[in-house]
């Protein structure tokens, strides 16, 4: 039995670096139990709409970075975004996640009108935004327009590490300020980080966990770093499956009621990555509702899965995978449980 209430730094570092198969199995079993106590065997579905792959930032790991001239860029307009939501609704989704690069083309007025339109047409659905760092005023307006949740991974909680992965124009301080502001405004807030990113050390991961404890986000996205061939980090190795699973499990133990996705990146580095993520304490999946012809352009990293499938096909496939591991697909809103 793992004592999960008061992990010391030493204990956390032990599990962060642990490569003993039995100990890992115990850790995952414990995480599964904790998740089951709060969310039973349910796995929540979120419909992901990747509505713009333009980005003003230049994160060194990301394929959408503005210096990448090798990708074709696209934007969806309000009607196209609404159409994705309509398809999602007809497939049974009760949560829409609008994700994009940091794209100033979408002004506060435009985003407000998009969120309002979704809110009017789907009064009972959850609207999640994942559009990067914006002003507090902007966050406030979008919340008033009807957004309920916001995903903004902190990427790394270590100052020196953050600097090595981002251009000088970006700062960890602002990232954190955005997260605290979102939470305070009433958004269910998601933070998160990559595992195995270039220059990451076990100490960085420890700081990630401590930051999560401090912020107490409702959601935490964790996926392996995967090199993207048109970025400065193209030749760095990808993050490992087991490290990612250990971080998912530790996050579940430290934040027992959190909503943790089995990420697409995890499914990309291993054919059973997402299922193993669920077995290590994750309880959310995010099938893609973006128009099929745009999917491959949303190239955060190489070899991203599910870029060729129709949304309906993705859901069918995910349902099968989830039930075959003994979990229960849940299309409800899946709000955070206190
Ligand atoms: N590998 C894995 N994940 C990545 N992301 C961006 N680039 C990569 C990459 N090369 C993640 C970031 C971001 C999220 C949308 O995708 O953590 O927050
Ligand atoms: Fe998309 Fe399997 S989840 S095809």
Give me the phi and psi of 130, to 5 degrees please.
-145, 80
- Local structure of 42: helix, strand or coil: strand
**Half-sphere exposure of 210 toward its Cβ, with a 13 Å CA cutoff?**
14
Among 52, 61, 303, the mutation site with the greatest number of ligand 1 atoms within 8 A of its Cβ is: 61
Tell me, in angstroms, the distance from the centre of ligand 1 to residue 134's CA: 19
The pLDDT value recorded for residue 4 is: 64
- If you average pLDDT over residues 180-206, what whole number do you get? 98
Greater model confidence, 186 or 338: 186
314 lines ligand 2 (CB under 6 A): yes
User: Which percentage of the chain shows pLDDT scores above 90?
Assistant: 96
Judge contact between 155 and 175, C-beta under 8 A. Answer: yes
Ligand 2 centroid–CA 316 distance in Å is: 8
Q: Is 320 in the pocket of ligand 2 (CB under 6 A)?
A: no
- 223-262 exposure pattern, b = at least 16 Cβ within 10 A, e = fewer: bbbbbbeebbbeebebbbbbbbbbbbbbbbbbbbebbbbb
- The pLDDT, as a whole number, for residue 6 is 86
Q: What is the DSSP letter of 259?
A: B
Q: What is the pLDDT of residues 281-335, one digit of tens each?
A: 999 999 999 999 999 999 999 999 999 888 899 999 999 999 999 999 999 999 9
Q: Tell me, using a 6 A CB cutoff, whether residue 306 lines ligand 2.
A: yes
3-state secondary structure of 173: helix
C-beta of residue 248 within 8 angstroms of C-beta of residue 233: no
For residue 319, the CA-to-ligand 2 centroid distance in Å is 9
CA pair distance 20, 93, nearest whole angstrom: 39
Q: Which atom of ligand 2 is nearest to the CA of 285?
A: 3
Pull the structure tokens for residue 286.
């995010």
- The residue nearest atom 16 of ligand 1, judged by CA position, is 300
**Section 232-260 average pLDDT:** 98
Encoded tokens for 256:
């027992």
DSSP 76: -
Give the closest ligand to the alpha carbon of residue 316: 2
Does residue 312 have its Cβ closer than 6 Å to ligand 2? no
Strand ranges in the chain using DSSP code E only, listed in sequence order = 42-45, 47-52, 95-100, 126-130, 149-151, 188-195, 219-224, 284-285, 328-330
CA of 168 to the centre of ligand 1 (A): 18
**Residue 184 burial (CB < 10 Å; 0-12/13-18/19+)?**
exposed
- Pocket (CB within 6 angstroms of ligand 1): 61-62, 153, 155, 194, 223, 225-226, 228, 265, 300-301
- Ligand 1 atom index nearest CA of 194: 17
pLDDT in tens, 124-133: 999 999 999 9
Looking from the CA of residue 221, the nearest atom of ligand 1 is 17
Rg (CA), the chain: 19
């Amino acid at each position: 039995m793992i004592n999960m209430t008061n992990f010391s730094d030493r204990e956390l570092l032990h599990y962060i670096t642990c490569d003993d198969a039995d100990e890992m199995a115990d850790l995952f079993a414990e995480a599964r139990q904790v998740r089951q106590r709060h969310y039973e065997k349910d796995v929540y579905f979120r419909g992901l709409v990747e509505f713009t792959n333009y980005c003003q930032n230049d994160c060194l790991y990301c394929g959408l970075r503005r210096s990448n001239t090798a990708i074709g860029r696209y934007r969806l307009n309000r009607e196209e975004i609404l159409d994705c939501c309509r398809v999602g609704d007809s497939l049974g989704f009760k949560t829409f996640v609008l994700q994009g690069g940091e794209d100033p083309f979408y002004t506060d007025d435009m985003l407000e009108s998009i969120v309002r339109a979704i809110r009017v047409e789907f009064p009972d659905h959850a609207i999640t935004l994942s559009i990067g760092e914006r002003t507090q005023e902007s966050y406030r307006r979008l919340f008033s327009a009807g957004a309920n949740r916001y995903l903004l991974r902190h990427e790394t909680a270590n100052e020196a590490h953050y600097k090595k992965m981002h251009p000088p124009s970006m700062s960890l301080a602002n990232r954190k300020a955005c997260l605290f502001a979102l939470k305070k405004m009433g958004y269910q807030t998601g933070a998160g980080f990559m595992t195995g990113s270039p220059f990451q050390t076990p100490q960085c991961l420890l700081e990630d966990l401590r930051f999560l404890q401090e912020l107490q986000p409702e959601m935490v996205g964790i996926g392996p770093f995967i090199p993207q061939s048109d970025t400065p980090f193209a030749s760095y190795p990808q993050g490992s499956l087991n490290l990612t699973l250990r971080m998912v499990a530790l996050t579940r133990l430290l934040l027992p009621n959190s909503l943790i996705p089995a990420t697409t990146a995890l499914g990309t580095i291993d054919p059973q990555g997402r299922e193993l993520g669920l077995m290590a304490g994750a309880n959310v999946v995010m099938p893609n509702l973006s128009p099929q012809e745009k999917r491959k352009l949303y190239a955060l990293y190489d070899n991203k899965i599910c870029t060729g499938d129709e949304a309906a096909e993705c859901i069918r496939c995910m349902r099968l995978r989830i039930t075959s591991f003994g979990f229960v697909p849940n299309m409800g809103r899946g709000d955070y449980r206190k």
